[in-house]
């Protein structure tokens, strides 16, 4: 399974808009906050690997 990297563009209630940063893309992906780490905020960088999102240090 491939590793993907995202940045949190915006948070809207129970959902967050993520933008992929490891490839050239302008598309945003809407993800339920329940699937994301609790500590996210706009600008947080995330790594998606093995069906799990983690905050990138």
Which pLDDT value is given to residue 1? 76
Boundaries of every domain in the chain: 4-55
In Å, what is the CA distance from 41 to each residue of 13, 21, 28, 50?
12, 16, 16, 22
The pTM is what? Answer: 0.91
CA 29 and chain centroid, separation: 8
Residue 4 CA neighbour count, 13 Å, CB half? 15
pLDDT digits (tens, 9 = 90+) for 5-28: 999 999 999 999 999 999 999 999
User: What letter would DSSP give residue 39?
Assistant: T
CA 50 and chain centroid, separation: 14
CATH fold for domain 4-55: OB fold (Dihydrolipoamide Acetyltransferase, E2P) (2.40.50)
């Amino acid at each position: 399974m491939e590793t993907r990297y995202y940045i949190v563009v915006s948070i809207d209630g129970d959902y967050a808009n993520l933008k992929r940063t490891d490839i050239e893309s302008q598309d945003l992906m809407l993800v339920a906050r329940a699937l994301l780490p609790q500590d996210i905020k706009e600008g947080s960088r995330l790594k998606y690997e093995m069906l799990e999102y983690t905050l990138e240090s």
